[in-house]
């Protein structure tokens, strides 16, 4: 089973890289981008085949290491 | 007084802080490798600056789970003083010993310069040699020094007098222009609620000898020796 974890910054947390991307897009002539926010994607290959248990494991991994709950949210996507 | 300096792979200010400690203590600190799960009894643990684990995942995130940190957390829980400088501050927030988080500088640039700091309280083990409100000059050298904490957390830090240092201008005024990295409320360093743990981005050890451009940092180490001997 594979897990794909999207880690994003909480709203209200300053994202200077997002701001730089926003600025660069408008420099390139792309109009209408109100906001850009950055994040990261982490992919894991898991031995666990039960989706419920896999989600539990990955959730624990996110809380202990993969995301920092002070500044980040995470979202877990499981695929077989 | 005895001190330990923790060395992570990628630490690069461990020797500098060891020199500053040795001068103040009259003996060298114990250097503790990150894989060690135990080390001799000491009166102070220092987490030095650097780029431990190449800043992978998030600054300080991997180091916060190193073997040695379990022991550092245990001792901090018993009241042993811990000082985290720069990357050490990042490790302290990631390990939960201090609140908040350190993020990429607002300018996205690496900041390497002398910075003015306002001492928010002289009432601590770490700042006893400074006057409350005094302006000191330390050196900042970081890419991820923007301190973030939510409004409720910031108010709590202020109410409990847990803010140790704020970035200030030449006249000691805490202004947005004097903020080098976008930190919330110009925060440069904070204590835990017992004031036994201090984390700060600027480097006192880089201002501990006239040859380095200043001596304001020396007083921190001398004050610690006085308090812990």
Residue in chain A closest to B66 (alpha carbons) equals A65
| Beta strand ranges found along chain B (DSSP E) | 3-7, 30-33, 44-47, 82-85, 101-103, 111-119, 135-142, 146-148, 163-168, 187-191, 197-200
pLDDT in tens, A22-47: 999 999 999 999 999 999 999 999 99
Q: Look at residue B75 and tell me whether its pLDDT is greater than 90.
A: yes
pLDDT in tens, B110-134: 999 999 999 999 999 999 999 999 9
**CA B33 – CA B202 distance, rounded (Å):** 23
Q: Look at residue B157 and tell me whether its pLDDT is greater than 90.
A: yes
Spell out the domain ranges in chain A: 2-79
pLDDT band, very low/low/confident/very high, at A80 (cuts 50, 70, 90): confident
A-chain CB neighbours of B94 within 8 Å are: 68
Q: Active-site residue B86, yes or no? A: yes
- What is the DSSP code string of B122-147? S-STTTTTS-TT-EEEEEEEESS-EE
Residue A70 touches partner B, C-beta closer than 8 Å: yes
Residue A17 touches partner B, C-beta closer than 8 Å: yes
Secondary-structure class of domain B3-228 per CATH? alpha beta
**CA B181 – CA B179 distance, rounded (Å):** 6
Secondary-structure class of domain A2-79 per CATH? alpha beta
């Amino acid at each position: 089973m594979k897990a794909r974890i999207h880690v994003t910054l909480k709203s209200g947390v300053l994202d200077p890289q997002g701001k730089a991307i926003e600025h660069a897009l408008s420099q390139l002539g792309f109009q209408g981008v109100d906001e850009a926010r950055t994040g990261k994607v982490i992919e894991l290959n898991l031995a666990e085949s039960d989706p419920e248990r896999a989600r539990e494991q990955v959730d624990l991994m996110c809380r202990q290491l993969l995301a920092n709950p002070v500044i980040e949210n995470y979202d877990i996507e499981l695929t077989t | 007084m005895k001190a330990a300096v923790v060395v992570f792979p990628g630490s690069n200010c461990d020797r500098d802080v060891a020199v500053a400690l040795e001068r103040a203590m009259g003996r060298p600190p114990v250097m503790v490798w990150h894989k060690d799960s135990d080390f001799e009894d000491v009166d102070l643990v220092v987490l030095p600056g650097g780029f431990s684990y190449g800043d992978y995942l998030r600054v300080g995130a991997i180091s916060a789970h190193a073997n040695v940190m379990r022991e550092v957390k245990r001792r901090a829980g018993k009241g042993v003083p811990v000082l985290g400088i720069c990357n050490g501050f990042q490790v302290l927030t990631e390990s939960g010993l201090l609140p908040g988080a350190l993020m990429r500088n607002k300018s996205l640039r690496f900041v390497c310069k002398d910075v003015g700091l306002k001492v928010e309280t002289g009432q601590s083990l770490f700042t006893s040699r400074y006057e409350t409100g005094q302006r000191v000059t330390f050196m900042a050298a970081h890419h991820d020094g923007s301190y973030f904490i939510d409004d409720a957390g910031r108010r709590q830090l202020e109410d409990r007098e847990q803010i140790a240092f704020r970035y200030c201008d030449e006249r000691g005024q805490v202004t947005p222009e004097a903020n080098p990295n976008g930190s919330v409320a110009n925060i440069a360093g904070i204590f835990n609620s017992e004031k036994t743990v201090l984390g700060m981005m600027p480097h006192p050890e880089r201002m501990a000898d006239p040859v380095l451009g200043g001596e304001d940092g020396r007083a921190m180490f001398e004050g610690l020796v006085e308090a812990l001997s």
